[in-house]
Amino acid sequence: MESELKDLNSKPSKTTQQPENLTHDDASTKDDRPLLKPDSSSSEDIQELEKKFAAYVRNDVYGTMGRGKLPLKEKLLLGIALVTLLPLRIILGMTVLLLYYLICKICTLFLAPNREDEQQEDYAHMGGWRRAVIVSTGRFLSRALLFIVGFYWINETHRDSANTQENSKTEGTNQSEEKERPGAIISNHVSYLDILYHMSYSFPSFVAKRSVAKIPLIGLISKCLGCVYVQRESKSSDFKGVAGVVTERVREAHQNKSAPMMMLFPEGTTTNGDFLLPFKTGAFLASAPVLPVILRYPYQRFSPAWDTISGVRHVIFLLCQFVNHMEVTRLPVYYPSQQEKDDSKLYANNVRRLMASEGNLILSDIGLAEKRIYHAALNGNNSLPTVLHQKDD
């Protein structure tokens, strides 16, 4: 589930190796590659590496890339869960997924998808009982999936405008007294689990890799969500076309209450949950109000954050946790000032600083490029000195 929402004004990255999911950066799926070799770097170099790329460092019991040396107690718990929880949760999860696919299939029978261009099609704009069934069952079954994987309760906090007024004034924002519908939900990005939570709460549309539309079961569900598909290997002209679709969707959601809301992760990739990366401006080009949401995953043993660990290993360890925790902070709708409407970069930066302040997150100036460098170093693809100084210029 990948949702690397890149800056919709910039060229797409030349790196094309991504997991085919709804929203996420590539935490490499190749488990056969080595970690940093002891003979190629000193402990000081490793410490410098982790300090430089702190936003992606895994700090749980399972260690970097989920390959740390486990204590005996953890091995016993993991062994028990592998033969009990894991198969049960996989069966239940696949049952829920198949059930929702069948619901979507029935609700879209004899209907032609909405086509915004030859590459973009969805069923999110249909109305009547079909849309009501898709949304209501989608929200319920998304929460059911979270329950199945161990999120038995979710701690949600709703901040009112009075609590954030001082911060908002500091950022130079103009919080309108009118109740306007936001055009997009803006969230920090920690895991593919973020998507399930947002589906269970507001059932918004996401930005997804175009190949997601062809994945069995998931493809039809993504069309019912109204996903905007991105071809990462496409030319810049096509990428600008996607930017236009996203901007129009955000503007439409702001002006039309029946239109599906857009859910965007402006960081463009996932972190370990303690940091907030620089925001891309694509979510703010429409100059519409946004709804900031902050997600945290407290843990004792295994962190649900998808950072340096492979997808398969992450899913297995996650399903082997008896209980998982999630904390959500929902901030008031953020209304941009005229200055922010005229400058999407300023708008993005102000929302980011507000979310960092309210969510107690550390602002980081690194991004997806540095994450790939860090992964390459862990996989032994680059010499450590080169990795450490590649981004210093």
DSSP 8-state assignment for residue 334: B
Instruction: Take residue 354 and report the two structure tokens written for it.
Output: 């507000």
Cα–Cα distance, 47 to 373 (Å, whole number): 15
pLDDT, one tens digit per residue, over 259-275 is 889 999 999 899 999 99
Q: Return the closest-CA partner of residue 283 out of 246, 240, 244, 228.
A: 246
Q: 3-state SS string over 199-238?
A: HHHCCCECEEEHHHHHCCCHHHHHHHHCCEEECCCCCHHH
pLDDT at 1: 44
pLDDT, one tens digit per residue, over 210-226 is 888 889 999 999 999 98
Q: Is the dihedral of CA 176, 177, 183, 187 positive or negative?
A: positive
What's the half-sphere exposure (Cβ side, CA atoms, 13 Å) at 205?
A: 29
pTM for the structure as a whole: 0.81
> Mean pLDDT throughout 160-183?
57
pLDDT at 115: 77
Cα–Cα distance, 278 to 347 (Å, whole number): 12
Cα–Cα distance, 18 to 1 (Å, whole number): 10
pLDDT at 41: 47
pLDDT at 241: 63
Cα–Cα distance, 204 to 225 (Å, whole number): 7
CA 385-387-388 angle, to 5 degrees, is 65
**What length does the chain have?**
393
If one compares 170 and 377, the residue with the highest pLDDT of the two is: 377
Instruction: Take residue 63 and report the two structure tokens written for it.
Output: 């260690």
Q: Return the closest-CA partner of residue 263 out of 142, 359, 150.
A: 142
* Domain boundaries of the chain, sorted by first residue: 71-159+181-379
What's the half-sphere exposure (Cβ side, CA atoms, 13 Å) at 263?
A: 28
Contact 326, 155 (CB under 8 A): yes
Helix, strand, or coil (residue 382): coil
Instruction: Take residue 329 and report the two structure tokens written for it.
Output: 């902070």
Contact 29, 65 (CB under 8 A): no
Q: How much of the chain exceeds pLDDT 70, in percent? A: 77
Provide the greatest CA pair distance for the chain. 65
Between the alpha carbon of residue 173 and those of residues 163, 279, 301, 337, the distances in Å are: 15, 17, 40, 5
**Residue 71, exposed/middle/buried by CB under 10 A (0-12, 13-18, 19+)?**
exposed
Q: Which residues pair with 154 in a beta bridge?
A: 326
pLDDT, one tens digit per residue, over 24-82 is 444 444 444 455 554 444 455 667 778 889 999 998 999 888 888 899 999 999 999 99
Helix, strand, or coil (residue 123): coil
pLDDT, one tens digit per residue, over 98-125 is 999 999 999 999 888 877 666 678 888 7
pLDDT classification of 161: cutoffs 50, 70, 90: low
> Mean pLDDT throughout 283-289?
93
pLDDT classification of 381: cutoffs 50, 70, 90: low
User: To which residue do tokens 């969707």 refer?
Assistant: 249
Contact 143, 243 (CB under 8 A): no
Cα–Cα distance, 203 to 124 (Å, whole number): 10
